[in-house]
Amino acid sequence: MIAYIEDIATHAGQAVTLRGWLHNRRSSGKIHFLTLRDGTGFIQCVMTTQAVGEEMFKGADHLGQESALIVEGTARADARAPGGYEIDVTGFEVVAESQNYPITPKEHGVDYLMDRRHLWIRSPRQQAVLRVRHEVINAVRDFFNGRGFILADTPIFTPAACEGTTTLFPVQYFDDTTAYLTQSGQLYNEANAMALGRVYSFGPTFRAEKSKTRRHLTEFWMVEPEMAYATLDDVMELAEALVVYVVGRALDRRKQELKTLERDTSKLEQVQAPFPRISYDDAAGILKTKGLPFEWGGDFGAPDETALSEDFDRPMCVHRFPSAIKAFYMKPDPARAELALGVDVLAPEGYGEIIGGGERLADLDLLLQRIKEHNLPQEAFEWYLDLRRYGSVPHAGFGMGIERVVAWICGLEHLREAIPYPRMLYRMYP
């Protein structure tokens, strides 16, 4: 019976056929130990001359790493085996040989591995990361779908800058038009929220800053909820519930992967509501007491974010930033007009910002003024201004970067391992 390694426990004592690739081979005299992987897991297959005969045994002698194999055998429980089972091989077929596979169990440099990303993803750690990513994405979908949010997609080709053109990738759109790759679905989400109430978009977004930091990708996946009749507080509550749910799902369903990654899961278990909520003012004060050279009015750099979050065992919300450093669409705080009703959620352990959002400016005149102040072309925003002309209501939302969350949950140093094929300033291959 054809089986997958992840289901092997349901086949104890049975004859099974596994289809996969040779991850590793050790031979000692009359026994081959073949570690087979099939995408669902890794398992040791034990082949003896006694069981398969001299000729077949010889056929496995020279097999290189990543040779494609179909193995037949019996699943046997073995307490010492990592997955609890081994296969006693009764027969096998070589589907395709592989010689001189470039990624061996020895250490390789990151550039070497990145150039071979299409092969690197076959390794246990990288597979574990991609499985956690899958869990995070599905947890996000389940979270919003379970709360009555409607998935409404937003365009990737956009006619104008959502937050200024300097950070956009231009694309030739037929003969005489320049389109830009979207950096956020937010403005369209606002329109969708006025139609559908609670919505979310979930797709690739693009940023053209020439940043080389380990937290920056030029192409990344973002989930963006938007709610009509909602405020900054609603956004903080929703963000908190989402993060708690997503981390809980990974802990629940991806134990094995987190173990492969040697993640200290006790840290993730602390991720429970409520998250501390700290104003930008207080955050600036904290940074001063910690001796960082931070001035009120500036944006937080990575060291500031790390210093702020190190006092807490769970994510924190920093709210009410100076309007001057935030986007044109943010609603000013009615109590202090120089502040914007925005929030960033910072992950613990130095992972920094994972969520950015807030309450939107619903007032037509003020929004017009902001568009002028930011030197944005008003014609391009006429459709967006219509949302303020026809039944404008308080509304709010946020964006969460999937790779930032995956990197944090997996304990990765760099975002490049949190997506199958990362796009960065100096990397577009493979």
Decide if residue 397 touches Mg ion (CB under 5 A).
no
Q: E-strand spans in 264-384?
A: 277-279, 316-322, 332-333, 336-347, 352-359
One of 225, 356, 401, 422 touching Mg ion (CB under 5 A): 356
Token representation of residue 5 = 């390694």
- Coil vs helix vs strand at 315: coil
354 touches, from ligand 4AD, Mg ion, none (C-beta below 5 to 8 Å by class):
ligand 4AD
Nearest to ligand 4AD of 11, 414 (CB atom) = 414
> Are the CB atoms for 69 and 37 separated by under 8 Å?
no
CA of 84: how far to CAs of 51, 71, 80, 216, 318, in Å? Answer: 22, 18, 7, 39, 46
Nearest to ligand 4AD of 326, 388 (CB atom) = 326
Which run of H or of E encompasses 313? none
Token representation of residue 174 = 């037929």
Binding mask 303-322 for Mg ion (x = CB under 5 A): --------------------
- Coil vs helix vs strand at 295: coil
322 touches, from ligand 4AD, Mg ion, none (C-beta below 5 to 8 Å by class):
none
Nearest to Mg ion of 209, 252 (CB atom) = 209
CB of 386 to ligand 4AD, least distance (A): 19
Nearest to ligand 4AD of 41, 322 (CB atom) = 322
CB of 293 to ligand 4AD, least distance (A): 23
CB of 244 to ligand 4AD, least distance (A): 17
CB of 130 to ligand 4AD, least distance (A): 17
- DSSP per-residue string spanning 397-430: EEEEEHHHHHHHHHT-SSGGGSSSS--BTTB---
Which run of H or of E encompasses 51? helix 49-59
> Are the CB atoms for 43 and 18 separated by under 8 Å?
yes
Nearest to Mg ion of 322, 356 (CB atom) = 356
Select the span of 51-59, 235-243, 293-301, 348-356 touching Mg ion (CB under 5 A). Answer: 348-356
- Coil vs helix vs strand at 202: strand
Amino acid found at 334 = P
Nearest to Mg ion of 356, 397 (CB atom) = 356
**Binding footprint of Mg ion, residue count (CB under 5 A):** 1
CB of 58 to ligand 4AD, least distance (A): 51
* b/e sequence 222-250, b meaning 16+ C-beta within 10 Å: bbbbbbbebbbebbbbbbbebbbbbbebb
CB of 213 to ligand 4AD, least distance (A): 9
Select the span of 23-31, 243-251, 307-315, 356-364 touching Mg ion (CB under 5 A). Answer: 356-364
**How remote is the C-alpha of 49 from its chain's centroid?**
47
The closest of 410, 411, 416 to 215, measured between CA atoms, is 416
Nearest to ligand 4AD of 65, 186 (CB atom) = 186
Nearest to ligand 4AD of 94, 385 (CB atom) = 385
Decide if residue 41 touches Mg ion (CB under 5 A).
no
184 touches, from ligand 4AD, Mg ion, none (C-beta below 5 to 8 Å by class):
ligand 4AD
The β-bridge partners of 206 are 219
> Are the CB atoms for 397 and 186 separated by under 8 Å?
yes
The β-bridge partners of 70 are 19, 93
Q: Using CB under 6 A as the criterion, which residues of the chain lie in contact with ligand 4AD when the complex forms?
A: 184, 186, 207, 216-217, 220, 222, 224, 353-357, 397-401, 403-404, 415
Using CB positions, name the residue nearest to Mg ion.
356
Which residues are near Mg ion by CB under 5 A? Answer: 356
